[in-house]
Chain A
Amino acid sequence: MPPAETAAASAPENPEEIRAVPVRHPGRWVAAAIIVVIAVALARSVATNPRFQWGVVGDYLFAAPVEDGVLKTLELTFLAMVIGIVLGILLALMRLSANPLVSWASWLYIWLFRGTPVLVQILFWYNVAAVYPKITLGLPFLHANANDLITPFMAGLLALGLNEGAYMSEIVRAGIISVDEGQSEAAQALGMSRLQTMRRVVLPQAMRVIVPPTGNETISMLKTSSLVSVITVPELLFSVQQVYSRTYQTIPLLIVASIWYLAMTSVLSVGQYYLERRFGRGSSRNLPETPLQKLRRVVLTTRRQPAVVEAPEASEERR
């Protein structure tokens, strides 16, 4: 039979595509069906249950007190993270110091601030005037009434920032330790001082390890900042509480707050992605494309399919 012969002969060169009957996965279909049913039921209930009061959600989403609360939350998160990061770097360097007392002081701080609940710390700073009614800096005329100086906002900020410092110091320390010792040796052999070595060589490389958990800490801080509502700081949660204590529309206003928290954490996640990319420089040969670059490439290549004249654009994007 000549046809069979030719088929056998050509098989290794041009193997026929396999058209096998795929294995069935009935379990996956059942699971998918269950999920769909639950999702539809949930969506229908959320949409049709009048007690969610979606109209009220819409009314308050961009109301002035809510927007003020959002701004206050952002301000609190930003400032607390700045305090936390600066303090964290300082505590990490202290922890790695050759001086045992300095190292021990840092350890004690971390033990104290990580070992007590942040809510307790918030309440403590709020009531600090009970312990130190007058705050002086040891200089004449430079003293203030603790109650004037430590406003609820200051108390909340102090509590969140000082607490964050303890967590950040462990993150920074892990980052510094992750940098190969040969790097600081090379820097020192070139005549760089210890401070220069840390700032120019070690910390930039430690950033690759430090940035991802710091992004997580920021997102976590954004949510934790709602705790200061207990000491009447007018951030997002306290603002909606103020409204619903007057109108009794508790659920729709909590939904308003949740929508804002979700929106803000989503934006932060995107920012974290780009930061990680920047500090990944030099660690791999080619940086992965950002979603935007990927989109642009796909759109461009599908639009002019056969064109191979893409080279200048591609090299430009890599820059």
Chain B
Amino acid sequence: MSRERKRKLITSVLSILFAATVLLNFFNYEVPTFLWALDGIVLFGLLSYYIITQKLVTYMVKRSLEAAVVLVIIATMTFLLLRIIPGGPFDQEKALPPEVIANIEAKYQLNEPVYMQYYYYISGLLRGDLGESYKYVGRSVTDILAETLPNSIQLGFYALLISFLIGIPTGVIAASKHNTWIDNLSMTLAISGVSLPSFLVAAIFILVFCFSLNWLPPALWEGPEYYILPIVVLGIRPAAVIARLTRSSVLEVISSDYIRTARAKGLSERSILFKHVLKNSLIPVLTFSGPLIAGILSGSFIIEMIFAVPGMGKHLIQSVSNRDYPLVLGVTLIFSVLLVLSNLVVDLLYSFFDPRINLS
């Protein structure tokens, strides 16, 4: 078997593996643990292989240390900011007697000096203990995250998937048909996608697909038919941004010298577009993807509220109004970890897509 065929075979097997996971998950089947494990091992393996062959081990160590420092700074800042803003976690309409307040403060160690509270928090964090929510009494922050984050990730993952699947081809097509009606139409759509607020899009979609056509349920998170609307609404804006980025980037690359060379060699327009232009055009899209991935995976407050998705997004907002210190810190840290990780992956992908970028 030739090298090329081997590569193709491996790619296909892996694609089937991932597609199976995605589809089983989407259609609400129990995804077997071995499949999750296999996915994890393959992804991790690919990543490690890439890191080792590209001699990026020192780079990764350096970046991980940097990330740790960033996370500690974020945890500290959040901790301090929460103590600075007026209003405490147990302030409420009906004032409590001093005895009762004293007991609550003692229970949560809020009666101790701030530096001691900080010490307890950081030492808990090092033990992997994010503490207990003040609002949801008896539930640990870890439990809350473990119950809600998977739903946010599920929603976010599909939204990302469709935004890339729609955004990149639209951008490429628009660029290759530059200044034609196709280009104009797709860019008009893209601009609408960027500028329409998601709650408006959600309202329109609910009106059309639930109440006029009666195809889909208006909310809840119970199965595939429930997933479609929130995923599409969440995916529209990033899809539009990606389409615009891809288009301008493709246009720029198309007019570069090496493409002219390729054309001069007599390569077909199609092979130029897919083999030479696309890969290099994806750099700006990648830059945008880092924060996008973190933002979308950690849950969108508006989408989760409108479609009653039991995700983490609402805790991002509500924990702050509740002054639920441990939960605020928990969701902030999760968001930061996602952000740091996705930026790291994006940086690795830079060097993959554009060998001129040398990370080591």
Q: Do A and B come from one complex?
A: no
- A residues in contact (CB < 8 Å) with B: none
- B residues in contact (CB < 8 Å) with A: none
